[in-house]
């Protein structure tokens, strides 16, 4: 088994004919993801072909869902249009939305998150690499050649660190159940706790790697959840330990103000919850092998 995406995923790509959309849709199709439709306003009636697949392009998400029974959307739309793309996907009845777009305004995301919660729609992202279930479905930009099927679940705020850790796991013969990049924006869709709960319920996931970073309190909340709800071992890494206070580092949410959101506080909370915390990314694989 896996979480969120698998061979039953019927993917719709919003922005399929754009530069980023067409490039990454080709890679998703080549990986074997079941891409059933694309949406680009004004280009309905065209077809997108790659990896032996042929997906029709529609003008609206609603029409695409009606015609193809798509159940998941991935958004490759510029930031000024991405928030409307999220609303359109939710209104069309999709179960899961994955948004890779960065620079979506925080106030827009606050309203969108509230709307999605009311409709019981899951959002991964924005500003994330998406997710992948090895040999089943790649929804996003995580390289398919670095993963292999296995029992280690991975959830991360950082795309680059996701790739590094997954590559190290695969090189050591340890496969993954699903790898999920949740993104590092302060307001986003699913969070650490949401993904941890899914991994806890997944019989194919035997242990979990959680990659966090400075800023916010997601990791401290996750530590509380792990201590009281997780039966499976969790290994963690917190990025940004050398970041100067008050300076934004990479992700919009990776900023430390005063004592809130420090790496030291996150590490202490996780260790108090029984989580092994690596000092550097290379150590993660050694810890879960131990």
Please state the rounded mean pLDDT for residues 129-141: 98
Instruction: Give residue 251's pLDDT.
Output: 61
Q: Is residue 197 one of the residues assigned to a domain?
A: yes
Q: Is residue 5 one of the residues assigned to a domain?
A: no
DSSP for the chain reads: --SS-STT--EEEETTTSHHHHHHHHHHHHHT--EEEEE-TT-TT-EEEETTEEEEEES-HHHHHHHH---EEEE---HHHHHHHHHHHHHTT-SEEEE------HHHHHHHHHHHHHHT-EEE-SSS-EEEETTTEEEESS-GGG--EEEEEEEES-HHHHHHHHHHHHHTT--EEEEEE----SS-SS-HHHHHHHHHH-TT--EEEEEEESSSSHHHHHHHHHHHH--S-EEEEEE-TTPPTT---SSTT---BTTBT-HHHHHHHHHHTT-EE-SSTHHHHHHHH-
1-32 pLDDT, tens digit per residue, is 689 999 999 999 999 999 999 999 999 999 99
The C-alpha atoms of residue 150 and residue 13 are separated, in whole angstroms, by 27
Catalytic annotation, pick one of 24, 27, 251, 280: 251
Same-domain check for residues 118 and 162: no
Residue 94 belongs to domain spanning: 11-124
Same-domain check for residues 74 and 213: no
Q: 240 pLDDT exceeds 80?
A: no
Same-domain check for residues 160 and 273: yes
Same-domain check for residues 83 and 164: no
Q: Is residue 132 one of the residues assigned to a domain?
A: no
Tell me the whole-structure pTM to 2 decimals: 0.94
- Which of 89, 124, 159 finishes a domain? 124
Q: Is residue 149 one of the residues assigned to a domain?
A: yes
* Residue 19: CATH number of its domain: 3.40.50.720
Same-domain check for residues 281 and 226: yes
Q: Is residue 204 one of the residues assigned to a domain?
A: yes
Q: Is residue 3 one of the residues assigned to a domain?
A: no
Same-domain check for residues 163 and 189: yes
Same-domain check for residues 99 and 148: no
Higher pLDDT, 84 or 217: 84
The backbone region for 67, taken as left when phi is positive above 0, alpha when psi lies in -120 to 50, beta otherwise, is alpha
Same-domain check for residues 44 and 169: no
Instruction: Find residue 210's DSSP bridge partners.
Output: 155, 236
Same-domain check for residues 149 and 18: no
The C-alpha atoms of residue 181 and residue 177 are separated, in whole angstroms, by 14
- Which of 124, 151, 180 finishes a domain? 124
165-197 pLDDT, tens digit per residue, is 999 999 999 999 999 999 999 999 999 999 999
The C-alpha atoms of residue 137 and residue 23 are separated, in whole angstroms, by 17
Same-domain check for residues 158 and 71: no
Q: Is residue 16 one of the residues assigned to a domain?
A: yes
244-262 pLDDT, tens digit per residue, is 565 555 565 555 555 557 8
Q: 289 pLDDT exceeds 90?
A: no
27 is catalytic: no
* Residue 236: CATH number of its domain: 3.40.50.261
Neighbours of 275 (CB within 10 A): 22
The count of structural domains within the chain is 2
Same-domain check for residues 214 and 241: yes
Same-domain check for residues 146 and 182: yes
Q: Is residue 44 one of the residues assigned to a domain?
A: yes
Mean pLDDT of the chain: 93
Instruction: Give residue 147's pLDDT.
Output: 98
pLDDT-derived band of residue 282, with 50, 70 and 90 as boundaries? confident
């Amino acid at each position: 088994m896996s979480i969120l995406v698998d061979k039953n995923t019927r993917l719709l790509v919003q922005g399929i004919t754009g530069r980023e959309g067409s490039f990454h849709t080709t890679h998703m199709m080549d990986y074997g993801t079941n891409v059933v439709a694309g949406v680009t306003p004004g280009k309905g009636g065209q077809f997108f072909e790659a990896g032996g697949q042929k997906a029709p392009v529609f003008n609206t998400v609603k029409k695409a869902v009606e015609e193809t029974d798509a159940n998941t959307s991935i958004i490759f739309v510029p930031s000024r249009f991405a928030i409307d793309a999220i609303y359109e996907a939710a209104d069309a009845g999709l179960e899961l939305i994955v948004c890779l777009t960065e620079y979506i305004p925080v106030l827009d995301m606050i309203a969108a998150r509230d709307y999605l919660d009311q409709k019981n729609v899951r959002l991964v992202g924005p500003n994330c690499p998406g997710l992948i279930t090895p040999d089943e479905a790649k929804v996003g930009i995580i390289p398919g050649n670095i993963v292999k099927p296995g029992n280690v679940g991975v959830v991360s705020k950082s795309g680059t660190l996701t790739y590094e850790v997954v590559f190290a796991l695969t090189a050591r013969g340890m496969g993954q159940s699903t790898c999920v990049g949740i993104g590092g924006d302060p307001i986003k869709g699913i969070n650490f706790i949401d993904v941890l709960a899914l991994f806890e319920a997944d019989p194919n996931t035997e242990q979990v790697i959680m990659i966090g970073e400075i800023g916010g309190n997601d990791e401290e909340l996750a530590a509380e959840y792990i201590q009281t709800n997780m039966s499976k071992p969790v290994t963690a890494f917190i990025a940004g330990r050398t970041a100067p206070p008050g300076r934004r580092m990479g992700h919009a949410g990776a900023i430390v103000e005063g004592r809130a959101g420090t790496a030291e506080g996150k590490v202490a909370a996780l260790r108090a919850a029984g989580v092994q915390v690596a000092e550097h990314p290379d150590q993660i694989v050694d810890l879960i092998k131990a």
